Amino acid sequence: MAHFPIAGLIVFPLLGALVSLALSKRWRTVMSFILITALLLNNVSLLFQFYGQGTFNEAMGNWSAPLGIELRVDGLALIFSLMSALVASVCALYACVYLSATQLKLFWPFFWFLWAALNSIWLSSDLFNLYVGLELLSLAAVGLVALSRDATSLAAALRYLFAALLGSIGYLLGVALLYATYGTLSLPELSQHFSLTLSSAVALGFMCIGLLMKTAVFPMHSWLPPAHGGALTPVSALLSALVIKASFYIVLRLWTELSLEIASASAGMLMGILGSAAILWGGWMALNQTHLKLVIAYSTLAQVGYFMLIFPLLSPVDAHASHLAFQGGVLMLLAHALAKAGMFLAAGNLLFCSGQKDLKSLAGLSRYRPLNIFAFGLAGVSIMGLPPSGGFNGKWLLIQSAMLQSQWVWVAVIIMGSLLSAAYIFRVFSYTYREVEGGDSFKQPAAVLEWTALSLSVLSILLGLASMLVLDLLPISAVVAQ
């Protein structure tokens, strides 16, 4: 047990996958929750270990890299690991009430593989391990999308699968080129020898395009709305909150560890432009949807755009402003995970009540399910970036960073994006306030479903007051330019 608690992050989910394939219906759920508890405890003990000794590496089975697998725990990895533990366990709780028995049987193995893949991505510092994690993640996510087994979700799953495979191949091609040039796949080693030559630029180009495709960055986003909007509710929450973050996380790692902001300013600009387009396009499309879950799916698209604004704001000259942008981006990622998961779960409850997907069917629900509307609203506050919320704090730091560097364009984009998101969220909200004749025949969701949604939304608000706890985990040296 020498490698615990770090190894537990990978071992427990894999164990969960095996168990849920092998055991009977009842034991499957029981074992899953035991393992979820174990994972949560595991994360907490890892946090304390980190508080004690700071960043550390651990070679699995004492086989050192390159042949062995080495895991790395630093502040960023820890934040993402905690985030996925939180969101995944709440979604699991929701799922085991929400899903039917047959759906649940398929849900558990995919869910566990998903979690294993996420953790391996957060903890790996090796480009090839990251590839394996990405593939496992995509396959588990595609499986989850197909869970409802009707034609629409199958089409969405297939489209998603093709996009994800294409993205993986792009990434792998880049990895092959990098290995040919530098003879290593470990990020820390690579960062020592790295210089931006033509071949490494092509390699990184392939990798970034592949990863951004998996993150659904504009204009490679068209697979996302049907997949996230059409999946079963707990799956939508997992996908929007966690899965797209994984590929983005790798881009962020590459960028900061290889100090790409020094190597090329125009690449950062390009990322910023893509992000801006995503913010405006996603917001606009969300405003024009008639189905509730599609509104939220397009909102994810817009939020991804905000994450992309980190890159142009990482500056080779202004270390303070860069640091602000990095902190802001991480807060945005975290706040989005909590708020979007909470929002999807709340939306799932609302749709369950009315039995339809349409926004119009929400009329009268704010009277019937005030707590649920409140959960939706709180998540909305964070998504809009209004204070006090994690979303606001993230946005504030990004704006501060842009102002200090006089990059006014990004300020303008962030502001316009906020107004757009306010428009589409209040649009949903106002539908629930409508009073119509005969709109009082609703089904009642189980209390667990409402409280799980509310808990995530409340967390996204509390993050606005407790941002320092998160930011203290990030080392200042993560982005400071040399």
Partner 1 sequence: MSSYLIFAYGGVGLCGIGVFGFILHSHLLRRLIAFNLLGSGTFLILVGLSQSGRGQPDYIPQALVLTGIVVAVAATALALVLIRRWAALTKHATLPEDQGPS
Partner 2 sequence: MSFFGLLPLWVLMTSFLAAIVIFMLPEERHGLRSTLNLVAAVVKIGLIILLIRLVAQQETPEVSLEILPGLSLVLRADALAMLFAGLSSILWLCTTLYAIGYLENSPNRSRFFGYFSLCVASTMGISLAGNLFTFLIFYELLTLSTYPLVVHRGTPQSLKAGRTYLAYTLSGGVVLLVGVALFYAFVGDLAFGQTSQMAEFTETSPIASAIIFLLLIGGMAVKAALFPFHGWLPTAMVAPAPVSALLHAVAVVKAGAFGIIRVIYDVFGIELAWQQGYVLPLSLLASFTILYGSWRALQQTDIKKRLAFSTVSQVSYIVLGVTLLGPIGTVGGLVHLLHQGLMKVTLFFCAGNYAETLGIHKIHELNGTGRRMPMTSAAFTLGALGMIGIPPVAGFISKWYLGTGALAAGMDWVIWVLIGSSLLNAAYFLPVLYRIWFLPQQGQWPHEAFTQWRDTAPLLLIPALITAALSVAAGLFAGSDLSPLSWARLIVIREYQP
34 contacts partner 2 (rule: CB under 8 A): no
Q: How far is CA 132 from CA 122, 128, 267, 323, 437, in A?
A: 12, 6, 26, 30, 55
What minimum distance in Å lies between the beta carbon of 126 and partner 1? 10
CB of 214 to partner 1, least distance (A): 13
270 binds, options partner 1, partner 2, none, Cβ within 5 to 8 A by partner type: none
Quote the least distance from Cβ 93 to partner 1, whole Å. Answer: 27
Confirm if 432 and 366 have CB atoms less than 8 A apart: yes
Which residues are near partner 1 by CB under 8 A?
A: 66-67, 128, 131-132, 135-136, 138-139, 142-143, 146, 149-151, 154-155, 157-159, 161-162, 165-166, 169, 172-173, 175-177, 179-180, 183, 185
State the binding partner of 437 from partner 2, partner 1, none, CB within 5 to 8 A by kind. none
When computed from its CA atoms, the radius of gyration of the chain, rounded to whole angstroms, is: 21
Among partner 1, partner 2, none, partner that 433 touches (CB below 5 to 8 angstroms by kind): partner 2
What separation in angstroms does the CA of 107 have from each of 94, 173, 181, 379, 430? Answer: 12, 32, 42, 25, 34
- Give, as one character, the DSSP assignment of residue 15: H
Cβ nearer to partner 1, comparing 155 with 287: 155
Residue 268: helix, strand or coil by DSSP?
A: helix
Residue 196's φ and ψ, nearest 5 degrees, are -85, 95
Contact 234, 98 (CB under 8 A): yes
- Residue 158 CB, nearest approach to partner 1 (Å): 6
Q: Which does 4 bind (CB under 5 to 8 A by kind): partner 1, partner 2, none?
A: none
Distances (CA, A) of 347 to 226, 337, 429: 16, 15, 11
**Least distance in angstroms from the C-beta of 157 to partner 1:** 6
Closest distance of CB 209 from partner 1, Å: 13
Whether the link from the prior residue into 316 is cis, omega within 30° of 0, is: no
For partner 1, the closer CB: 138 or 289: 138
Q: Answer yes or no whether residue 467 interacts with partner 2 by CB under 8 A.
A: yes
Tell me the backbone φ, ψ of residue 56, rounded to 5 degrees: -150, 160
Q: How far apart are CA 139 and CA 136, in angstroms?
A: 5
Report what 172 binds from partner 2, partner 1, none; CB cut-off 5-8 Å by kind: partner 1
In whole angstroms, how close is the CB of 194 to partner 1 at the nearest point? 17
Exactly one of 393, 407, 457, 460 binds partner 2 (CB under 8 A); that residue is 393
Give yes or no for a cis peptide into 109 (omega within 30° of 0): no
Closest by alpha carbon to 214, among 290, 289, 137? 137
Smaller CB separation from partner 2, 188 or 387: 387
Per CB under 8 A, 374 contacts partner 2: yes
Which of partner 1, partner 2, none binds 209 (CB below 5-8 Å, type-dependent)?
A: none
Question: Given the structure tokens 């071949």, which residue do they identify?
Answer: 199
**Residue 467, amino acid:** S
Please check whether residue 98 is in contact with residue 443, taking contact to mean a CB–CB distance below 8 angstroms. no
Footprint of partner 2 (CB under 8 A): 327, 366-367, 370-371, 374, 377, 381, 386-388, 392-393, 396-397, 399-400, 403-404, 411, 415, 418-419, 422, 426, 429-430, 433-435, 464-468, 471
